[in-house]
Amino acid sequence: MEPHRLRLGRWAGRLVHAGIALPVALLALILMGQVFFRYGLNSSLYWSEELARYILVMMTFLGSLFLLQRDSLTSIVIGTPPPTLTVGQRVLAYAPTLLFFCFLAWSAFALISRTASQRSIALGLPMWLVYSPILICGTLGALIVLVKILRRPPSR
């Protein structure tokens, strides 16, 4: 039986993978529909640009989780930590990334709390729904980093 932290890490990874495919397909459909309506029927969809913008932002946050999971996000800045580091060394190596994602989640929660009663212009969506991908990204990013810190180094 595998440890809970590995199952939790796999669950977070599957969630990120599933969350990337759906927005890409949805964005493609919306933009193709917008082009068809604008140039084929000479009638623009007023809501499509706003929805496409929100989906694109959501894809950016989900993409950062995808890169984090593969150590590609941190390798740009400080290099990928070798797998044989001790827990203390991994804490030091991943501390900036963990602090960033914790701050992102905390800031997103504060933003959602302040704008909960507002609505978007064209779609009329509640703004907490628009800003929730930021909170989800911050929380899942911190979770992925914690799993990376707590994982056992491979046997030599």
Is the confidence at residue 62, as pLDDT, over 60?
yes
CA distance 131 to 58: 9
8 Å CB contact between 140 and 15? yes
Is the confidence at residue 1, as pLDDT, over 60?
no
Identify the band that residue 111 occupies on the pLDDT scale cut at 50, 70 and 90: very high
Residue boundaries of the structural domains of the chain: 4-150
The mean pLDDT of the chain is 83
CA distance 72 to 66: 9
- What confidence tens digit (pLDDT) does each residue in 4-41 have? 666 766 776 677 677 778 888 899 999 999 999 999 99
CA distance 71 to 75: 6
Q: What is the pTM (predicted TM-score) of this model?
A: 0.74
Highest-confidence segment of 39-43, 55-59, 98-102: 98-102
Identify the band that residue 117 occupies on the pLDDT scale cut at 50, 70 and 90: very high
- What confidence tens digit (pLDDT) does each residue in 72-100 have? 766 545 566 666 777 777 788 788 889 99
